[in-house]
Structure 1
Amino acid sequence: MDIVSYFSSLDFMSFLNALPGNIAQGIIWGLMGLGVFITYKLLHFADLSVDGSFATGGAVTAIMLINGCPIWVAMLVAVAAGLLAGLVTGLLHTLLGIPDILSGILTQIALYSINLNIMGKSNLPISYRNYSLVISASNINMAIIIALIVVAVVIVAMYWYFGTEQGTTIRSTGSNPAMSKAQGININFTKVIALALSNAVVAFSGSIFSQYQGFADVNMGRGAIVIGLAAVIIGEVLGEAIFRKHINFIIRLIFVIVGGILYYIAMGIVLWLKMPTDDTKLFTAIIVAIFLAVPNIRSRATNSFKKVAKQNSKAQKVEG
């Protein structure tokens, strides 16, 4: 197929039709990114257990719905399950001294079996036709509105919490654990709290996503950490590019959601361009790598310009 026939085969309307769905998924995964933001940006903890806790949120929601529980009860229990998962990761790290990455991996592996035991099988359908759900892909416009309301509530709650004394100690622990410990802060306790909160948010997003797609699957969280990081990193780069030094905490939280939306729009473009679906994880890695490299490249460019400016200034003084 030559280049002309390739581009002529692309239907732009199909991309536009798929755009609302991409936006809805981007918001939901942006919510998951808020959980990753707590550990990755605030605590500087590489928590890989989110791949498991995301699926746990969906698994708990599905099995409780099937057993006749109201959706709000199912979602609250899913959040509690995610909180417990984060608690386990935190205790493995703080009490047993297991490195952060390994403690997350151990929890993630354990959660795979736990999720299978919760559901009894690898996949459970929860169609909007059979259950009263908060959100569903059957009505994309309403799904976008509901997802925006949910993330707005979570962002406000996070903004309030991390402005409290306990929330400030978590941010302090992530910024300078040695100084925080010297100030009398129990850094192990704050790490456990942060990990529990992070995985609670992740499980909540898993609950929302399972309702949106109409089923819970044991593999639905596979690669979730990469998508969460993509939302955080894309949002951070874009937010700093727009607001520069004026960017504050709540703007950073909002731009995590923006990052999730942009990531899914980018993936929508990749699929619209008829790229192989088997390579979606590869494209995800490339997108994240590009945005990870942007701050470093920008910093090098700025330093290079400053260096040249200094050299020119010295040359002018010598000539003068």
Structure 2
Amino acid sequence: MTLRIAIFGAGRIGCWIAGPLAAQGHDVTLIGREPTGREIAEHGLTVLDADEVIAATRNLRYDVGPESLASADLVLVTTKSGGLAAAAADITRLARDDTVLVTLQNGIGVAAAFAPLVPRQKVLGGIVGFNVVHAGGGRWSKSSKGMIHCEKHPLLRDFGWHLVEDLRPIEWGKLLLNLNNPINALSGQPLKQQLEQIGYRRILATAMDEALAVAKGAGVRPAKLGPTAPALLSAGLRAPDWLFNPVLLPRQKISDTARLSMSDDYDTGKPTEIAELNGKVVVLGRQFGIETPVNAALVKLIEAGGGNHFDARTMLRLVGL
């Protein structure tokens, strides 16, 4: 079945998702800002998995305004979390009652929080389990392993996504990985280079230990989204460099240039998703009476702004390790 799909948010994730769906024959419209639209108009849209092209098109529709929401069977909301309220206002004004919505943001319980803002439509939660880099020239590349996970619905059955009844374990599994976002941003380094240093990994391991304790308090067992089970992640991160770098790190298949999305936002002074990531761990930790000092310290460092970068030794001291 051919669907009319509007992708609300033409950032890294939205552009990457558009390629395979258009290649499957769906009528896809990207909704985003003018610079990205000009780039796609000039170069077309090419989507890669590492260095392998998996979809390419020069006929993708791109709109700056949200008018295409009115004809969409399916809307994939791929804005940052801070853009959800504005997206909801446009959807409420334009979308049909029978349009299905999918939220694809990082964080816990995003779909449940979004649903009251769009009460006429069905809202599904989704998680993108990989990172994407914008390589320029209309090219967006998957820079780490993973897949797209979403709550089950008949419209999605042929997308090649992982469809589940309960998204919560996957949300928590992705949250554990996303706890590295502020560390990567504060390091000022590409992701692979940052992870090669045990000092940064110690901070991430401790942040994960805090989050696992909070997940237990919430009654959720995080899903395994990578090559390592969640319960073993922190132990692996604490492995010495001589073991981690040649043996464990290559299993993640991270490109040399990959950076996490918070890095760009932090460096340019844009709002970050820290409240939905490490901040969520802190808030839920208070709810369950679980201390989360490292996550709290990372939140404060990001919220202080200024684009400051720290070496591993300095950051260890700043988070109290």
TM-score of the two chains, using structure 1 as the length reference: 0.30
- Larger relative helix fraction: 1
Larger radius of gyration: 1
Greater relative contact order (CA < 8 Å, ≥ 6 in sequence):
1
- Larger relative strand fraction: 2
